[in-house]
Amino acid sequence: MTKTIILSVLAIISIALSFFYDVKKPESTPAETATASLMLYPIQTGEDIARALELPPLPLDLSEPVDSAFYKRHSRKLGLKLDYNEDKDLLETITKWLGTPYSYGSSTKSGTDCSGFVTRIYSDVYGIDLSRSSRSMFDDVTRIRKDSIRTGDLVFFRRGPKQPIFHVGIYLKDNKFVHSATSGGVMVSSLKEPYYRNYYYAAGRVN
């Protein structure tokens, strides 16, 4: 009899403790809930995170990262300080032409003159067909001030007043331009060099 009473009392105590535990058990913290939710979902995008946490979509930037290796490589080859937002097609195409020897009247990677080089770059990069000679190119562009030159604009040279234009190149940045010179073929030069500073005439933009 005594044993039965003891067992009954223990059972009542057990039930009471169980009820008390359920009532007093603290609710999960937000951090615990978030962790549990995240474990249930494969996290790949901001929307996945928002769905797991029951929050509005997160403004995560999942765009393609800047190809720093590309810009570093072409910065060295072209001798330019790049901002990592330049036209990659233009940089890559120009780089492939560097060192091409000068050849009057030609426009191939076996040899090219200044206007032939410019027409090929514009055709390959921009899909634009330019006039074949530097003089006719100048007639087709919109004149712009020297302090307004942008990457891709054309720079023209002549030997003096009333003299015809004899040379053309493509402006890059920081006073640098790429062209096919009679003395060295396709190369990057500076408008600050005495020769090009003396013979620089005007800049033009292809519309």
Tell me which residues are annotated as active site: 114, 167, 179
Up-side HSE of residue 176: CA atoms within 13 Å toward CB?
A: 13
Q: How many angstroms separate the CA atoms of 33 and 35, rounded?
A: 5
Q: In Å, how far are 54, 64, 97, 203 from 46, measured between CA atoms?
A: 12, 15, 43, 47
Distance of CA 117 to the CA centre of its chain: 25
